Structures are given as C-alpha cells and as structure tokens.
Structure 1
Amino acid sequence: MNNHSEAPVEAYEPPYYVAVFTAVRTQEQSDYSETNARMEDLVKDVPGFLGMDHAQTPGGLGITVGYFRDAGALAEWRSNAEHRAAQKRGQVEWYRSYTLHVAKVERSYGFTRAQSPAAG
C-alpha cells in the first residue's frame, strides 16, 4: 500500500478496480485536512483496499486514485457511513466541482529505475 512516498502505488495483477476522484475545491476548507486524514485512515481498514495515489496542481485541481482488489471492496468503501457523511459535507462546503470515474483494470505494469551507486 502506498504510504505517500515519492513512488506510485505498485502495479497489481489484474483484474482490480480504481476509483478516480478529480475535484476543484472551494475557498472554504474548514476541517478539510482533518476529514481527509480520517478518510485515509478509514479506507485502509477496508478488506481489499490496495492503496491510493494523490496529485494536486498549483491551480487547485486535485486527483485521488483509490485501488481496490474487487468490486465488493469498492462497494464497502462507498457505503461507509463516515465516508458518506464526508461526501455530503464536501458537496456543501469543500468542492466547487468533482467527478468520479470507476473502472476495472485489465492491464497493469510499472517501472522503477535501479538506484545508482553513490559516487565515490
């Protein structure tokens, strides 16, 4: 599972599912950081959660990609009561607009450059 280091979530053996949440936030961000951290802690308890990647542009567009082993894991996260409450608050306060795309991954691969030995 990604610990928000500089590496993306690893490529898993397909099939698995991704939920791609893309949002533009409002100026009102009261409690957003705390709620976001709570959601990240909660989703880790969902059996079948594989990891998460985040990206933010300087202009305010944010993207979060959640990876799930199967549709059941994704459905469990979608129906979590705290997550549902955070979604509602997001619509009222934190997001100017957002989209959610859910897809079944059929192909997955990755690359990691080998570490170079330190120059002596």
Structure 2
Amino acid sequence: MTTSRLVADLEPPYYTAVFTSLRPDNPEGYAETSEHMQEIVKQIPGFLGYESARTPGGIGITVAYFRDEESLTAWRQNAEHQSAQRRGREQWYDAYSLHIGKVERSYSFERE
C-alpha cells in the first residue's frame, strides 16, 4: 500500500495517526487485509485521506488524516480494524509504533 499522491490543502486543525512498522515483504494475507482496511476507513465520517510508503528493507510509514478526535476514535474502535491489529501483532509485524498528533499548521507545494 504505497500512495502516489500527497494529501494536501487540509484546513487545520485536524489529527494524524502516524503508523510506522517493520515487517517482512508480502506476508500471507497482509495485502488483502490492507486493501479491506483502506475501504473501511474511507467510510468513517471525518477521514480525510492517507499517505503510505515502504522501504525495500521492510520499514513502512502510513500517515492517516482525520478531521477530529471523534473520527480517529471511530477508526480505533472499529471491530474489523481491531481484528486486523491483533492479526498484525500475531503474524505480520516484527515491530511498530503509533503516534497521534493534532496539526495546527499545514502548507503544501506542488510543481505545475
């Protein structure tokens, strides 16, 4: 799940969930679950988008953007998301960290 476009022009304040992980390439069942999680999170009111990248060495970073704490909480409490998190700890991830932040200032640039 690597994105090809940046999330830009969001009006602060909003919230970010920065998920950094270390996992082997293409563990069984991961890609399908990841695609399903992308579809589920898009249905949460207040979800604004995400950016994701992975290095060849297995380090991945996904930044998800949410309008408010309530939308972020709805994602955290989603039963299918919680099930995927358990599977990640049991099977897919060697390590991960999660950082939640409130964005108070934001700007972007795009070459024409």
Place the TM-score, normalised by the shorter chain, in its bin: over 0.9
AA in 2 matched with 1:113 = R
- Among 59, 75, 78, the residue aligned to 1:77: 75
Q: Distance in 2 between matches of 1:5 and 1:28?
A: 17
**Counterpart of 1:47?**
45
Closer, same or farther: CA 67–44 of 1 in aligned 2, 3 Å: same
**Counterpart of 2:101?**
103
Q: CA deviation at 1:30?
A: 1.2
Structure 2 residue runs without a partner (length 5+):
none
Q: Distance in 2 between matches of 1:13 and 1:24?
A: 31
Structure 1 residue runs without a partner (length 5+):
115-120
8 Å CA contact retained: 1:13, 1:108: yes
**Counterpart of 2:11?**
13
AA in 1 matched with 2:101 = A
Q: Distance in 2 between matches of 1:27 and 1:7?
A: 22
Over aligned residues, Cα RMSD in angstroms?
1.4
TM-score, structure 2 as length reference: 0.94
Q: Which protein shows a greater Rg?
A: 1
Deviations for 1:70-103, whole angstroms, at most 9, x for unmatched residues?
0000000000000000000000000000000000
Q: Distance in 1 between matches of 2:65 and 2:78?
A: 16
Q: Distance in 2 between matches of 1:94 and 1:86?
A: 10
SS in 2 for 1:22: strand
Q: CA deviation at 1:29?
A: 1.2
SS in 1 for 2:94: strand
